[in-house]
């Protein structure tokens, strides 16, 4: 495996379910990110981790809970979501959080909340 | 309030001609700008970047121009190829505040054979 991988690629869940999205990067990067892309809206940054420490949380509702157990893995735990949370969730990584580095994205998880 | 805007949601160009995609920003603290390309069912792929100390950066068929006074950047693709058909996102960051990207809404480029 190379680059940034995400599982599952598609997820349908009810509003009372609990599920998790997984991201893994094979690039040796130190920073990882979660983004949300809703229909007809720009990508929105949700969370940033640098060396497993959360450095940014962009006013994201608590029903989204990130976890970064090591610099290669990032999870997004989901519980009691709303239909408006249906979106494409993208994970990205970059060499570092500080400095001018491009971010490399995974293919995304298409989430549908019913 | 969108800090990065791509005012053209779509652009259609003939193969072999030049494609010009535009992006405007409002935050004067942005000092690093990137273009990403996205195919359906894939994540965005990094294409080219430019820092605010430059006004042009070139990589093969792709050139990015930065006009700081106008807070405007553009991506030129010459010559355009059908495989370039994708959604193009402009993004910007303030390097002093960390590597957090603010994205534009994207422009769908269609290159006709």
Question: A interface mutation test: which of B95, B99, B101, B107 has the most A CBs within 10 A?
Answer: B99
Strand duo A73-79 + A53-57: pairing: unpaired
Query: Which stretches does DSSP call E strand in chain B?
Result: 4-5, 10-14, 19-25, 32-38, 45-51, 56-59, 62-67, 72-77, 86-93, 102-103, 107-112
Beta bridge partners of A35: A45, A90
Calculate Rg over the CA atoms of chain A: 13
Query: CB A51: neighbour CB atoms within 10 A?
Result: 13
Going from the first residue of chain A to its last (114 residues), give the mean pLDDT of each consecutive group of 10, the final group possibly shorter: 89 92 96 92 91 83 94 95 95 90 94 94
Strand duo B10-14 + B107-112: pairing: parallel
What is the mean pLDDT of the segment spanning B44-58? 95
Residue B48 C-alpha, separation from nearest chain A C-alpha, in angstroms: 9
pLDDT tens track for B6-41: 999 999 999 999 999 999 999 999 999 999 999 988
Helix H or strand E segment including A45: strand A44-50
Beta bridge partners of B109: B11, B86
Q: How far apart are CA B15 and CA B78, in angstroms?
A: 10
pLDDT of residue A5: 96
Residue A79 C-alpha, separation from nearest chain B C-alpha, in angstroms: 24
Identity of the residue in B31, B42, B100 whose CB atom sits nearest the CB atom of A45: B100
CB B35 within 8 A of CB B29: no
CA distances from B70 to A1, A32, B35, B55 (A): 43, 32, 18, 12
Residue B76 C-alpha, separation from nearest chain A C-alpha, in angstroms: 19
pLDDT tens track for B81-97: 999 999 999 999 987 77
Considering only CB atoms, which chain A residues are within 8 Å of B45? 105
Classify A85 as helix, strand or coil. Answer: helix
Considering only CB atoms, which chain B residues are within 8 Å of A40? 105
Identity of the residue in A41, A92, A99 whose CB atom sits nearest the CB atom of B95: A99
Task: List phi, psi (to 5°) of B5.
Answer: -130, 135
pLDDT of residue A1: 55
């Amino acid at each position: 495996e190379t680059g940034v991988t995400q599982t599952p690629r598609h997820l349908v869940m009810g509003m009372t379910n609990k599920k998790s999205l997984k991201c893994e990067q094979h690039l040796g990067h130190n920073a990882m990110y979660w983004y949300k892309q809703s229909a007809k809206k720009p990508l929105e940054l949700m969370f940033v981790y640098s060396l497993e420490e959360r450095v940014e949380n962009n006013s994201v509702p608590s029903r989204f809970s990130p976890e970064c157990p090591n610099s290669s893995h990032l999870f997004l735990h989901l519980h009691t979501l709303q239909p408006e949370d249906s979106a494409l969730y993208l994970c990205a990584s970059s060499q570092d959080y500080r400095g001018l580095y491009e971010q490399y994205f995974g293919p995304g998880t298409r989430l549908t909340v019913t | 309030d969108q800090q990065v805007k791509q005012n053209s949601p779509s652009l259609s160009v003939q193969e072999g001609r030049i494609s010009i995609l535009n992006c405007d920003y409002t935050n004067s603290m942005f000092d690093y700008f990137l273009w990403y390309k996205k195919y359906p069912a894939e994540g965005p792929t990094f294409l080219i970047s430019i820092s605010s100390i430059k006004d042009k950066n070139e990589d093969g068929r792709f050139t990015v121009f930065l006009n700081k006074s106008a807070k405007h950047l553009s991506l030129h693709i010459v010559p355009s190829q059908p495989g370039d058909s994708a959604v193009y996102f402009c993004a910007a960051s303030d390097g002093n505040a960390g590597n957090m990207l603010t994205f534009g809404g994207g422009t769908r480029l269609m290159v006709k054979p």
